Amino acid sequence: MGMVGRLDGNERTFKSERSDIMKSRVLKVLTVATVSLVVLTGCDTQTSGDINVQTDEIQYRKDQRTDLCFAFLASRKSNPIGVGNMTGMGMTHVPCSEEVLRLIR
């Protein structure tokens, strides 16, 4: 008779090891996903639909060490809950164009 439907000890061990490896990978992925979910839901991000940026408040700076230019905007806003102020700052790299260089204070 042939070997149809029969597994010897080596094949059974190989399939068991493969199954254990797959279970281990799935467990790792689920753990990372769960930890990420817990961490991200713990962030206290205030989002409101009333962001109003005045472009004349954007400031530009040039880093003399690297010759890179940056635009940034800092803001302070009363907290709608009434507990202190909310502050924020945004910063990004911009080309050192003639227009930007003129706006550097």
pTM over 0.75: no
Q: Does residue 88 belong to any structural domain of this protein? A: yes
Q: Does residue 40 belong to any structural domain of this protein? A: yes
Q: Are residues 40 and 16 in the same domain?
A: yes
Q: Are residues 40 and 62 in the same domain?
A: no
Question: What is the domain extent for residue 36?
Answer: 7-44
Q: Does residue 82 belong to any structural domain of this protein? A: yes
CA–CA separation, 42 and 97 (whole Å): 41
| CA dihedral sign of residues 31, 32, 33, 37 | positive
Q: Are residues 26 and 62 in the same domain?
A: no
Q: Does residue 11 belong to any structural domain of this protein? A: yes
Mean pLDDT by 10 residues, the chain (105 residues): 54 72 84 76 57 80 94 75 69 93 87
* Helix H or strand E encompassing 73: strand 68-78
Residue 1 has a pLDDT of: 46
Residue 21 has a pLDDT of: 82
Q: Does residue 49 belong to any structural domain of this protein? A: no
Residue 85 has a pLDDT of: 63
CA–CA separation, 79 and 70 (whole Å): 28
Tell me, rounded to whole angstroms, the distance of Cα 40 from its chain centroid: 10
Q: Which residues contact 90 (CB under 8 A, 6 or more apart)?
A: 72, 73
Residue 52 has a pLDDT of: 67
Q: Does residue 2 belong to any structural domain of this protein? A: no
Q: Does residue 85 belong to any structural domain of this protein? A: yes
Q: Are residues 37 and 15 in the same domain?
A: yes
CA-to-CA separations, 98 to 88, 91, 102, in angstroms, rounded: 28, 19, 6
Number of structural domains found in the chain: 2
